[in-house]
Amino acid sequence: MKRPSWLLYAAAIVGYLFLYIPLAIVVVYSFNDSRLNAEWVGFTFDWYRKLAANDEMIQAAVNSLVIATVTAFAATVLGTMAGFAMHRYRSRVLPILVLTPIAIPEILMGVSLLLFFVLLNLTLGIVSVMLAHIAFCIGFVAIVVRSRLAGMDESLTEAARDCGATPAQAFRLVTLPLIMPAVIAGALMAFTLSIDDFVITFFTAGAGTQTLPLVIYSMIKISVTPEVNAVSTLLMLLTLVLIVLASKLAPGTLRSS
């Protein structure tokens, strides 16, 4: 086997630095003893202490996590079903219905969802944000699942059916385990999309409902304080723990095959 050239290593290193340096800076400045994200002054836990006392931001972070978790779960179930249906029935209309939300501009979706919720007389709040997030995440999950199904050997399901499995059993025992990595990838994608969505959330959140992106964005005018770095660091830590946990509990799920 030929060893990859040093050029490839160099490109990879530059790529990873580009991805991770900004994150590292966010973490480092969360311990900086200055309100400015500009220069290193000294080490402090002050921003974490301030964050602990900032009920508003903690509430926003909790809201974001709850919304993202519910969205990831619901969008994955519905998206997997949609992806399966698209693969199975080869309809022309279905993909258009499922995938349009990915293509239309977020702002359009935000406004139209808001108008729709107002029409239904639904009180805007966490639930309306969840519904909106689920609506735009389904398409992403469906795409990932469908492409996985397209690469799957059809004869495996047929074999299961030959051996007497009902369609439901064949799906549960054969198809689902095979497409699991795509389902997990879709769920992670839905989680990420939900937790950092601003535009759609802005329109569908009601009076008194704040998510982290909404709070951070509203702070831009007065310049973002390192409390934001602190809360971001904690969220990164949480995500990291979840990913490590997932790979320990089910080592196969995060790999593509």
DSSP per-residue codes, 193-235 = HHHT--HHHHHH--TT---HHHHHHHHGGG---HHHHHHHHHH
Rounded to a whole number of angstroms, the minimum distance from the CB of residue 204 to other proteins is 9
- How far apart CA 140 and CA 211 sit, in angstroms, is 22
- The two tokens of residue 242 are 């979840």
Rounded to a whole number of angstroms, the minimum distance from the CB of residue 2 to other proteins is 48
Select 81 or 99, whichever has its Cβ closest to other proteins: 81
Residue whose C-alpha is closest to residue 84's, from 155, 159, 188, 178: 178
Rounded to a whole number of angstroms, the minimum distance from the CB of residue 124 to other proteins is 6
Select 134 or 179, whichever has its Cβ closest to other proteins: 134
Is residue 247 within 8 A of residue 254, CB to CB? The reply is: yes
Select 123 or 247, whichever has its Cβ closest to other proteins: 123
How many Cβ atoms are within 10 Å of 249's Cβ, its own excluded?
A: 8
Rounded to a whole number of angstroms, the minimum distance from the CB of residue 187 to other proteins is 18
Select 108 or 237, whichever has its Cβ closest to other proteins: 108
Rounded to a whole number of angstroms, the minimum distance from the CB of residue 223 to other proteins is 5
Select 171 or 217, whichever has its Cβ closest to other proteins: 217
Instruction: Determine the number of helices (DSSP H) and then strands (DSSP E) in the chain.
Output: 12, 0
- How far apart CA 49 and CA 31 sit, in angstroms, is 11
* Residues in contact with 35: Cβ distance below 8 Å, sequence separation at least 6, in sequence order: 225, 226
Rounded to a whole number of angstroms, the minimum distance from the CB of residue 34 to other proteins is 6
Select 134 or 188, whichever has its Cβ closest to other proteins: 134
Select 188 or 231, whichever has its Cβ closest to other proteins: 231
Report CA-CA distances (Å) from 222 to 198, 214, 217: 18, 14, 10
- First-to-last alpha carbon distance for the chain, in angstroms, is 21
Is residue 60 within 8 A of residue 212, CB to CB? The reply is: yes
Is residue 233 within 8 A of residue 26, CB to CB? The reply is: yes
Residues near other proteins (CB under 8 A): 34-39, 41, 56, 111, 114-115, 118, 122-125, 127-128, 130-131, 202-203, 205-210, 214-215, 217-223
Rounded to a whole number of angstroms, the minimum distance from the CB of residue 222 to other proteins is 5
